Structure 1
Amino acid sequence: MARTDLRPVVKLRSTAGTGYTYVTRKNRRNDPDRLVLRKYDPLAGRHVEFREDR
């Protein structure tokens, strides 16, 4: 039995250009657009925006 795609797994890629990624799940009904979160990038050493990568 397949899982529904209501909560797909998405990769969040750093906008600082370091290539660091986070993996999370999102609810498509609440967030139909691309997800943007401000999280810590250990390679940059600061908080930066992470955008959903497809």
Structure 2
Amino acid sequence: MARNELRQVVRLRSAAGFTYVTRKNRRNDPDRLVLRKYDPVARRHVTFREER
């Protein structure tokens, strides 16, 4: 597999609308990614969900 096929670029968006861009391994994490990260708009840690 080529490099771009295995690790895809995903966007993580919070409820307030702030976005992080990261990569995920498609083989290890086939489901949507949910991470708890800092949101500078809300000024606290919130859950970020993967959008497609």
TM-score (norm 1): 0.86
Name the SS for the 2:6 alignment partner.
coil
Uncovered stretches (5+) of structure 1, i.e. residues with no partner: none
Distance 1:3 1:47 in 2: 32
Distance 1:42 1:26 in 2: 23
Uncovered stretches (5+) of structure 2, i.e. residues with no partner: none
Aligned residue pairs total 51
What is the correspondence of 1:8-27 to structure 2 with a 5 Å cutoff? Answer: 8-15=8-15, 18-27=16-25
Aligned-pair identity (%): 78
Q: Which runs of 4+ in 1 moved over 4 A?
A: none
Which residue number corresponds to residue 6 of structure 2? 6
Higher helix share: 2
Higher strand share: 2
TM-score (norm 2): 0.89
